[in-house]
């Protein structure tokens, strides 16, 4: 489908969440890292109770989360969670290092920093914060980013604590399990204005903000360390929040697919209007007897201690089965909402039946029982009666929204570029001051200092590397995007070695070792300095770099020089190399006479093996060429 986004009135806004790479967490002195594959040292259970505001307002999203009397289970780790994460001790003052990074990013995004930063409590009762609120502080406002299609405003930049990570329990269950290691990691939130008008511009904007963040060198890298919420609307539709998109490459797909979904929902609304449906009319009946002898395994299982309930949706025939996004039908939306509301496994609808072992005969009986006309559809749910009824209530309320077109909601982005229902849009954030954390004054002097020391942006650095070190655009891009940028530059400036060799080592060799299962993070900058010093002095050949680094990962406490000596990897003297080459040339005389200089290829392999690779390949090749010339002449 060719879409004219301008015509449709597309508006997109972003909210980025990026973890900062500080030493400690935001409000305590626990270290800032995630625990991998470890049993928790302690476990505790809590319940959260939404505190009503004095005006009696209750947030829609909050209500949906808390409707079930949920118990939250938390996993704690002595090494990096403390009583602050456990919500058993007041927070420390806000981490100054995190404030400084946020100020730097605010300046890079052309924002106005506030004079005094106030930490707030933002009510969140899905269990992801043990306190029932997230601590968050607004640091800067009114920034912008330039894109090819125009300026995009940055509305706010906040510093907040990362939530605990959910490790078990889908929304809607009775218990959810969270791991506390992530709770309290500093997180910068950047909110744009809805001033993006095409999927291309969205992609460019997201890439640019990502580039600025990485340019500081003070943000976390890797999966889950940056997340984006994308707000999408078209003129005739509604605002949708896609929560936690991680894949940059899918941004255009997400936006396009959402536009398509909204257009299709509008089409459904028009169809319902054509059918003169002004309100949702339903009839609900217990249809258990229709399915008593059913072959459907799904239903048979549920009938052991449940019922089959059917609900007629007047006027919805063929609409429930209508595709609104690739592989997603209106029925899928009904189903997601029902699952979330009641915890049922799913629903059936007559547009997709007969299927799943449900026969045509059963469908006909069902329609007859509910006195269906041709234009009516039926939703079936098999489960305990109460749950099934809750599911049908949810379907009914979603069907009602069809009359208006596109409901505002928060949706979960899926890997194929589509999305599914997650929860209602959160109301305006309920915030009140975090009185345990004093406000922080931002001195003009500090801002000035940060302004004068802003980091070189990645895109500028790529250009500079390309020109100064004479490497390709792609190599420059890769090295600058990596975590090796600084050591790369330092080595090239301090040692007389080829930038290509340094590049091959830091990027190529590292990724080879990594995929072979060696722990490359054990290799530190000093190892690399020592390595290239030896190379500069011709004490080792570039051919042994891989071997040395492999050993370093195993014995990182040893110096590179020592490893080189112990492994006997020091380069051989020229006369030794010459002797070896001469011996081999003698030995392979026949081959040389047979193939002349074409024998260099096969002979190089033999000689380098004999030399244990302790010589530079080009040098050896030159000596060999010389010896062959002598032989042939």
Footprint on this chain of another protein (rule: CB under 8 A): 44-57, 71, 83, 86-90, 112, 114-118, 120-123, 125, 130-133, 136-138, 141-142, 155-156, 158, 428-433, 435, 439, 441
CB of 106 to another protein, least distance (A): 13
CB of 76 to another protein, least distance (A): 9
Distance CA 360, CA 344 (A): 24
Q: Which residues of 512-545 are buried (b: 16+ CB within 10 A; e: fewer)?
A: ebeeeebebeebeeebbbbbbbbbeeeebbbbbb
Question: Is 229 or 258 the residue whose CB approaches another protein more closely?
Answer: 229
Tokens of 189: 């939130």
- Contact residues for 56 (Cβ-Cβ < 8 A; gap 6+): none
Question: Is 194 or 345 the residue whose CB approaches another protein more closely?
Answer: 194
Distance CA 259, CA 554 (A): 53
Question: Is 112 or 473 the residue whose CB approaches another protein more closely?
Answer: 112
Question: Nearest CA to 255 among 324, 208, 197, 332?
Answer: 197
Question: Quick check: 189 and 16 in contact, CB under 8 A?
Answer: yes
Distance CA 294, CA 557 (A): 69
- Cα pseudo-dihedral 586, 592, 596, 599, rounded to 10: -100
CB of 158 to another protein, least distance (A): 7
Secondary structure class of 150 (helix, strand, coil): strand
Question: Is 156 or 553 the residue whose CB approaches another protein more closely?
Answer: 156
CB of 225 to another protein, least distance (A): 24
CB of 490 to another protein, least distance (A): 39
Question: Is 310 or 426 the residue whose CB approaches another protein more closely?
Answer: 426
Question: Is 71 or 600 the residue whose CB approaches another protein more closely?
Answer: 71
Distance CA 256, CA 203 (A): 12
552 — phi, psi (to 5°)? -60, -40
CB of 460 to another protein, least distance (A): 26
Question: Is 133 or 348 the residue whose CB approaches another protein more closely?
Answer: 133
Q: Please, which contacts does 595-600 make with residues 24 or more away whose CB atoms are closer than 8 Å? A: 596/628, 596/632, 597/625, 597/628, 599/628, 600/624, 600/625, 600/628
Greatest pairwise CA separation for the chain in angstroms: 104
Q: Which residues of 19-38 are buried (b: 16+ CB within 10 A; e: fewer)?
A: bbbbebbbbbebebebbeee
- Contact residues for 585 (Cβ-Cβ < 8 A; gap 6+): 592, 603, 624, 627, 628, 631
* Alpha helical stretches, state H, 348-443: 360-369, 385-402
Question: Quick check: 301 and 348 in contact, CB under 8 A?
Answer: no
CB of 92 to another protein, least distance (A): 13
Question: Is 428 or 453 the residue whose CB approaches another protein more closely?
Answer: 428
Question: How far is the CA of 248 from the CAs of 19, 147, 331, in angstroms?
Answer: 17, 16, 29
* Alpha helical stretches, state H, 81-239: 96-108, 199-215
Question: Is 34 or 138 the residue whose CB approaches another protein more closely?
Answer: 138
Question: Nearest CA to 186 among 74, 78, 101?
Answer: 101
CB of 153 to another protein, least distance (A): 11
Measured distance between the N- and C-terminal CA atoms of the chain, rounded to whole angstroms: 72
Question: Is 171 or 431 the residue whose CB approaches another protein more closely?
Answer: 431
Question: Quick check: 211 and 379 in contact, CB under 8 A?
Answer: no
Distance CA 372, CA 518 (A): 66
3-state helix/strand/coil string of 612-623: CCCCCHHHHHHH
CB of 426 to another protein, least distance (A): 11
CB of 129 to another protein, least distance (A): 8
Tokens of 624: 């060999």
Distance CA 281, CA 407 (A): 19
Question: Is 405 or 439 the residue whose CB approaches another protein more closely?
Answer: 439
Question: Is 126 or 204 the residue whose CB approaches another protein more closely?
Answer: 126
Question: Nearest CA to 280 among 379, 353, 365, 367?
Answer: 379
**DSSP β-bridge partners for residue 17:** 189, 227
Distance CA 611, CA 207 (A): 48
Question: Is 117 or 377 the residue whose CB approaches another protein more closely?
Answer: 117
CB of 319 to another protein, least distance (A): 38
CB of 88 to another protein, least distance (A): 5
Question: Is 83 or 248 the residue whose CB approaches another protein more closely?
Answer: 83
CB of 128 to another protein, least distance (A): 12
Question: Is 136 or 325 the residue whose CB approaches another protein more closely?
Answer: 136
CB of 112 to another protein, least distance (A): 5
CB of 429 to another protein, least distance (A): 4
């Amino acid at each position: 489908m060719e879409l004219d986004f301008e015509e449709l009135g597309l508006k997109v806004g972003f909210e980025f969440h990026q973890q900062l790479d500080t030493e400690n967490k935001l409000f305590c002195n626990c270290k800032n890292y995630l625990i991998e594959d470890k049993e928790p040292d302690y476990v505790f259970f809590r319940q959260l109770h939404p505190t009503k505001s004095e005006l009696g307002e209750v947030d829609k999203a909050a209500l949906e989360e808390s409707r079930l009397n949920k118990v939250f289970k938390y996993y704690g780790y002595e090494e990096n969670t403390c009583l602050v994460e456990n919500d058993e001790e007041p927070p420390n003052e806000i981490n100054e290092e995190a404030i400084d990074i946020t100020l730097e990013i605010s300046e890079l995004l052309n924002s106005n920093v506030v004079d005094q930063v106030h930490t707030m409590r933002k009510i969140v009762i899905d269990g992801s914060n043990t306190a029932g609120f997230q601590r968050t502080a607004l640091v800067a406002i009114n920034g912008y980013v330039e894109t090819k299609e125009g300026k995009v405003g940055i509305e706010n930049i906040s510093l907040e604590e990362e939530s605990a990570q959910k490790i078990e329990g889908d929304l809607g269950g009775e218990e959810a399990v969270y791991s506390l290691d992530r709770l309290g990691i500093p997180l910068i939130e950047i909110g744009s204005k809805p001033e993006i008008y095409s999927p291309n511009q969205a992609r460019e904007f997201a890439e640019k903000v990502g580039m600025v963040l990485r340019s500081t060198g003070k943000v976390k890298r890797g999966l889950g360390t940056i997340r984006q919420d994308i707000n999408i609307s078209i003129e005739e539709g509604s605002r949708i929040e896609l929560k936690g998109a991680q894949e940059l490459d899918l941004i255009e797909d997400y936006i396009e697919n959402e536009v398509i979904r909204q257009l299709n929902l509008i089409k459904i609304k028009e169809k319902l209007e054509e059918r003169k449906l002004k309100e949702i009319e339903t009839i609900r009946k217990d249809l258990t007897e229709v399915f008593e002898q059913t072959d459907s395994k799904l239903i048979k299982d549920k009938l052991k201690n449940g019922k089959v309930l059917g609900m007629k949706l007047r006027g919805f025939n063929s609409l429930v089965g209508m595709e609104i996004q690739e592989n997603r039908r209106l029925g899928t939306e009904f189903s997601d909402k029902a699952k979330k509301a009641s915890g049922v496994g799913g629903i059936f609808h007559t547009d997709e039946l007969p299927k799943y072992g449900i026969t045509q005969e059963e469908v006909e009986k069902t329609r007859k029982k509910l006195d269906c006309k041709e234009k009516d559809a039926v939703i079936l749910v098999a489960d305990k009666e109460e749950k099934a009824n809750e599911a049908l209530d949810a379907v009914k309320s979603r069907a009602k929204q069809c009359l208006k077109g596109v409901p505002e909601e928060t949706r979960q982005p899926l890997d194929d570029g589509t999305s599914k229902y997650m929860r209602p849009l959160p109301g305006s954030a309920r915030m009140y001051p975090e009185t345990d954390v004093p406000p922080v004054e931002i001195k003009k002097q500090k801002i000035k200092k940060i302004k004068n020391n802003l980091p070189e942006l990645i895109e500028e650095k790529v250009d500079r590397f390309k020109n100064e070190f004479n490497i390709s655009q792609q190599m420059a891009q890769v090295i600058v995007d990596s975590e090796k940028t600084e050591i790369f530059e330092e080595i090239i400036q301090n040692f007389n070695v080829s930038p290509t060799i340094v590049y091959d080592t830091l990027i190529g060799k590292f990724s080879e070792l990594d995929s072979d299962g060696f722990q490359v993070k054990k290799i530190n900058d000093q190892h690399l300095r020592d390595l290239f010093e030896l190379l500069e002095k011709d004490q080792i050949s570039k051919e042994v770099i891989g071997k040395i680094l492999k050993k370093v990962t195993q014995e990182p406490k040893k110096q590179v020089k020592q490893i080189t000596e112990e492994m006997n990897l020091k380069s051989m003297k020229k006369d030794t190399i010459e002797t070896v080459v001469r011996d081999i040339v003698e030995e392979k005389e026949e081959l040389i006479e047979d193939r002349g200089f074409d024998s260099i290829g096969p002979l190089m392999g033999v000689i380098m093996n004999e030399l244990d690779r302790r010589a530079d390949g080009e040098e050896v090749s030159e000596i060999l060429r010389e010896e062959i010339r002598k032989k042939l002449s």
